[in-house]
């Protein structure tokens, strides 16, 4: 492809994306009518022997790929969690690809490293986070990771290093370590225990209360039992908004127990932490001043396109000690002097993308006000929907709904709830996901797509309510 062709097709693609986001996505089914293997069957089984035109590629994209996608930007997308995008963020992603920078060390691109540090501090300020996480603090700082799953893993590795006195190596014994979370916490926590070489048999699932939040008394009892058994409690995850029900663990009480036993406290606020951009929702930060690490995702509810996860720690020395390996070809005077950050020491991969451009573009060209307005609108819509559900004879709200997630169940039981989810998704009135709360099936309604309006929610509710009544 020549530079002239790149310009032409680049302009065409930007026009296509803008048209699709403003009009085309709403014309698609939010979930495609397709079966496993249908998409592949429409594409050639073998690679082309001769180059094809870009127009031919775009034709297949429009006719085969896009209709086979789950449309996360659709106004009727109420599943899982929002994964919003915005135009400045898209342009930041394009610029990152165009510059082709690898942000693994200060020496590999000084400006990219320093912009990332600045963006973590900007977001620290905008979210109202505690001072110990800022890059200018004595021991803390942050980095952009790919996902909250990565952040949980690196927090676990830092905690492992601290708990073993820095003796962990490739053959180190970690069988005495135990960690804690609730069964409502994200699945990446259990996966992290596998990757970190500790094993899922060393995960303790702390019982929850009637709001699906961790019980501090139960956490304390489990810690005491493990200590009595000669084990070493080293890591606990407090969730600020679980995926299943948006439960908020009581972090201040958990922190008191964790500090008593030198247990690393990691707070996972993958989606809900972004709510703190609106000052009235800063309650989501409760207890963060007592945490060792914290993570939240601008690539969910904020509108910074995937992937962009923010991770902060109050103990960067443990993190760097756990993850730093310095081959001669990466040594630099700046890093050795301590005057610069090498982000290769702040995560699992060596190579890293220039993700900070997406935040920089978005915050400079649009600011935080449009994001705050969107968050407030989604919360208000969720509370209004909760009022409608409360007045319905056959549907019940089964979990607290402080922000933008509502969990409901059919009065006739699990079979009716599961059938409602399946029928609603098949009818295309929206896309919903199922969870299980205290052994009970629940339909999750996550209101967070950038394009979702009150009209979308009202139409969805009318259809969902009718379906629920027809099942009685």
Domain boundaries, the chain: 3-30+32-69, 94-365, 369-470
> Which segment of 5-14, 330-339, 441-450 scores lowest on mean pLDDT?
330-339
On average, the pLDDT of the chain sits at 93
**In this model, does residue 297 exceed pLDDT 80?**
yes
Q: pTM value?
A: 0.93
> Which segment of 114-118, 324-328, 458-462 scores lowest on mean pLDDT?
324-328
Identify which of 309, 270, 328 has the alpha carbon closest to the alpha carbon of residue 446: 270
> Which segment of 135-139, 194-198, 335-339, 441-445 scores lowest on mean pLDDT?
335-339
When pLDDT is cut at 50, 70 and 90, the band that residue 294 belongs to is very high
When pLDDT is cut at 50, 70 and 90, the band that residue 321 belongs to is confident
Tokens 């693609």, residue located = 13
Domains 3-30+32-69 and 94-365 share a fold: no
CATH fold of 369-470 reads 3.90.1150
CATH architecture of structural domain 94-365: 3-Layer(aba) Sandwich (3.40)
Long-range contacts from 117-121, C-beta under 8 angstroms, 24+ separation: 117/141, 117/142, 117/341, 118/356, 119/144, 119/356, 119/359, 119/360, 119/363, 120/144, 120/310, 120/312
> Which segment of 73-87, 316-330, 390-404 scores lowest on mean pLDDT?
316-330
For residues 193-197, give the mean pLDDT.
88
**In this model, does residue 309 exceed pLDDT 60?**
yes
pLDDT at 170: 44
Identify which of 14, 53, 7, 108 has the alpha carbon closest to the alpha carbon of residue 334: 108
Residue 100, exposed/middle/buried by CB under 10 A (0-12, 13-18, 19+)?
A: exposed
For residues 11-20, give the mean pLDDT.
96
The CATH code that applies to domain 3-30+32-69 is 1.20.1340.10
The helix, strand and coil proportions of the chain, stated in percent and rounded to the nearest 5, come to 50, 15, 40
Residue 426, exposed/middle/buried by CB under 10 A (0-12, 13-18, 19+)?
A: exposed
> In the chain, what percentage of residues exceed pLDDT 90?
83
Q: Are 185 and 193 in contact (CB under 8 A)?
A: no
Residue 290, exposed/middle/buried by CB under 10 A (0-12, 13-18, 19+)?
A: buried
When pLDDT is cut at 50, 70 and 90, the band that residue 171 belongs to is very low
> How many angstroms separate the CA atoms of 287 and 425, rounded?
38
Tens-digit pLDDT profile for residues 37-58: 999 999 999 999 999 999 999 9
């Amino acid at each position: 492809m020549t530079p002239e062709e790149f310009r032409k097709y680049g302009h065409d693609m930007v026009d296509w994306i803008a048209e699709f986001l403003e009009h085309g996505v709403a014309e698609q089914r939010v979930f495609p009518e397709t079966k496993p293997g249908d998409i592949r069957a429409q594409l050639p089984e073998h690679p082309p022997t001769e180059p094809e035109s870009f127009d031919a590629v775009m034709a297949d994209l429009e006719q085969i790929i896009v209709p086979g996608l789950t449309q996360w930007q659709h106004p009727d997308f109420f599943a899982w969690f929002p994964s919003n995008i915005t135009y400045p963020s898209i342009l930041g992603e394009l610029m990152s690809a165009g510059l082709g920078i690898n942000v693994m060390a200060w020496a590999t691109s000084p400006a990219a490293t320093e912009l990332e540090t600045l963006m973590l501090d900007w977001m620290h300020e905008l979210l109202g986070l505690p001072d110990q996480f800022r890059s200018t603090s004595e021991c803390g700082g942050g980095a952009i990771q790919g996902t909250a799953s990565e952040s949980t893993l690196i927090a676990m590795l830092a905690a492992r290093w601290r708990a073993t006195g820095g003796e962990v190596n490739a053959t180190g014994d970690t069988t005495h370590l135990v960690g804690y979370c609730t069964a409502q916490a994200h699945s990446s926590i259990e996966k992290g225990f596998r990757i970190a070489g500790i094993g899922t048999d060393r995960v303790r699932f702390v019982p929850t209360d009637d709001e699906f939040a961790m019980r501090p008394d139960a956490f304390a009892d489990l810690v005491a039992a493990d200590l009595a058994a000669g084990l070493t409690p080293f890591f606990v995850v407090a969730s600020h908004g679980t995926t299943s029900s948006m439960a908020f663990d009581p972090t201040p009480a958990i922190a008191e127990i964790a500090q008593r036993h030198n247990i690393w406290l990691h707070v996972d606020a993958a989606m809900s932490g972004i709510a703190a951009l609106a000052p009235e929702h800063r309650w989501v930060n409760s207890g963060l001043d007592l945490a060792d690490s914290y993570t939240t995702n601008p690539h969910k509810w904020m509108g910074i396109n995937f992937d962009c996860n923010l991770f902060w720690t109050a103990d960067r020395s443990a993190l760097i000690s756990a993850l730093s390996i310095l081959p001669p070809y990466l040594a630099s005077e700046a890093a050795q002097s301590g005057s610069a950050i090498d982000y290769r020491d702040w995560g699992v991969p060596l190579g890293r993308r220039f993700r900070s451009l997406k935040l920089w573009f978005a915050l400079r060209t649009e600011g935080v006000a449009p994001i705050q307005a969107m968050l407030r609108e989604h919360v208000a819509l969720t509370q209004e929907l909760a009022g409608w559900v409360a007045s319905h004879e056959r549907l019940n709200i089964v979990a607290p709904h402080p922000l933008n997630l509502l969990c409901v169940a059919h009065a006739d039981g699990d079979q009716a709830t599961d059938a409602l989810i399946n029928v609603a998704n098949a009818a295309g009135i929206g896309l919903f996901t199922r969870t299980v709360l205290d052994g009970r099936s629940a339909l999750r309604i996550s209101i967070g797509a950038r394009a979702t309006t009150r009209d979308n929610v009202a139409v969805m509710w009318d259809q969902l309510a009718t379906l629920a009544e027809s099942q009685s």
